[in-house]
Structure 1
Amino acid sequence: MWSDVIDLRDFYDSSLGQTARRMIRRQIRAIWPDSHDMRVLGLGFATPYLRPFRDETERVVAVMPSSQGVLPWPPEGPGLVCLADEAELPLADRSIDRVLLVHALESTEQVRGTLREIWRVLTDSGRLLVITPNRRGIWARLDNTPFGQGRPYTPSQLSKLLRENMYTPLQTASALFMPPFHSRFILRSAPAWEQVGERWFPTFAGVLMVEAAKQIYAGSTLREQARKKRSYLPMPQGFRKIGPV
């Protein structure tokens, strides 16, 4: 079930949401330290994490799923957001270098369709970064944040899902080790929670982050398998078989 776009906006406007954004954005930049001259797509509700890319990329765009709703972004300048079905992106084949998928995979009913569509729009050297709630983390167990909604994953589940949909997982990271409370003390000490959690309790992070590469050979393999599964009608003697039906 999708979170409403207004609820997502209100969460990131709160002090807890702003702290969560900083902690997650820090890990995103560690995974993607350089995006110069690239085209970046944010799918789901990714706009809180896209602003750092605007000054260095060739282009940044955001697609918000129709079941979630859409809000204009950025507040200044031309709009860079469109509303679309997550499994039917209005983008050309091999047109995107980096895809950031956040507040999407845990909510969509079209999991495979979404991942295959991202595969289609990624360049051959493109990268996908998936951010989902961690099934073992406390954030997934409380529904006072968007990370407590939808279907959480474990690292092995997420990696398996990506491999099954023509991706090769490259690296895994995690974030949000602090409890999802609005306590001023907890929010001020968030960096310390992150350092301790990454070192000693990585299993209990609030969110999982997996970077994956596109499997180039997978598309041709699937097409070959589809051709082998085609059936032919038996033809009477003396007639030429003309092709699949």
Structure 2
Amino acid sequence: MTWRDSPYAEHYFEQESPYLSAGLKQAVGPKALQVGTQVEQSLIDDLDLPFLLRTSQQMSNPSEVRADPAFLPFSPDSFAMVIMPHVLERHSLPHQVLREAHRVLMPEGHIVLTGFNPASCVGIQRLVRPKAVLSGRYYTVSRVVDWLQLLGFEIVASSMYQYAPLLQSPKLRRGCRFVESIGDRWLPMFGGAYMITAKKREPASTLVGRIRFNTRKRQMHGATAPARASMTGSEKVLLTQQEDK
């Protein structure tokens, strides 16, 4: 049995559901791409998207496209939304994965991604009870945000959740509910998981090259010379002598 089908995953998806649902509704677009399957699929299906394409590296479903998240077989600006549930921690090239998401997104398109936080109870649980969590390399929210901003994304929203460790027993889960409320208020950066929504921004056009200004003074002809008609006879003689010189 994989982690996706385990009681631990059931506990996690129960906590993730309201946050991911809000992020998806905020970023919904006409053409969506889902990369990876580590998600409660009913949340995405409930959006009733007009066009949704799913990719997976395992090809577990005939309707999915088999593709490496770091080398997507799609043209640039193909999708209005890219959904990446727990893809970064499962891939050896997380930077390239984000670059590919940026490439296939339309301008002003959104990326919605989820991940696990190493500085949390879930991060510690990965070391003491590996089968309870999804295997992979975990990254902090601040690190992922830095990667997104370097690519030109604008962070629209981010949320953290799952402050308690992942548990199998429903009774223990109910007993740990108070941890969620305490953690959300007092330890906001130590949630076990995060959801980030970001928008692809196109750089504004700028002028390139040197701008030259004409600084030569214009010569004013006849503006300062007195009109001959208004001169006296002696003034005309004097002006004639100055011109002859």
Structure 1 segment 216-227 matched on structure 2, within 5 A: 216-217=202-203
Counterpart among 6, 22, 30 of residue 14 in structure 1? 6
1: CA distance between counterparts of 2:66 and 2:185?
39
Question: What is the aligned partner in structure 1 of residue 239 from structure 2?
Answer: none
Counterpart among 62, 70, 74 of residue 59 in structure 2? 70
For 1:216, what is the secondary structure of its paired residue?
coil
Sequence identity percentage:
23
Q: How many residues align?
A: 202
Per-residue CA distance 1:4-51 (angstroms, 9 max, x = gap): xxx6xx3232222112112112101122336666222221234x3333
In the TM superposition, structure 1's runs of 4+ consecutive aligned residues that sit over 6 Å from their partners are none
**RMSD, aligned α-carbons:** 2.6
With over 3 angstroms needed to count, the CA separation of the structure-2 counterparts of 1:181 and 1:123, relative to structure 1, is same
With over 3 angstroms needed to count, the CA separation of the structure-2 counterparts of 1:30 and 1:192, relative to structure 1, is farther
Per-residue CA distance 1:76-101 (angstroms, 9 max, x = gap): xxx43121121221223222222121
The aligned amino acid for 1:212 is A
Structure with larger Rg: 2
Q: CA deviation at 1:204?
A: 1.9
Counterpart among 131, 154, 178 of residue 144 in structure 1? 131
With over 3 angstroms needed to count, the CA separation of the structure-2 counterparts of 1:41 and 1:146, relative to structure 1, is farther
Q: CA deviation at 1:58?
A: 0.8
Structure 1 segment 85-234 matched on structure 2, within 5 A: 85-141=68-124, 142=126, 143-147=130-134, 149-189=135-175, 192-217=178-203
Counterpart among 52, 76, 81 of residue 60 in structure 1? 52
Q: What 5-or-longer segments of structure 1 have no aligned partner? A: 1-6, 73-78, 225-245
Question: What is the aligned partner in structure 1 of residue 20 from structure 2?
Answer: 28
Question: What is the aligned partner in structure 1 of residue 215 from structure 2?
Answer: none
Question: What is the aligned partner in structure 2 of residue 44 from structure 1?
Answer: 36
Q: TM-score, normalised by structure 2?
A: 0.72
With over 3 angstroms needed to count, the CA separation of the structure-2 counterparts of 1:83 and 1:98, relative to structure 1, is same
For 2:90, what is the secondary structure of its paired residue?
coil
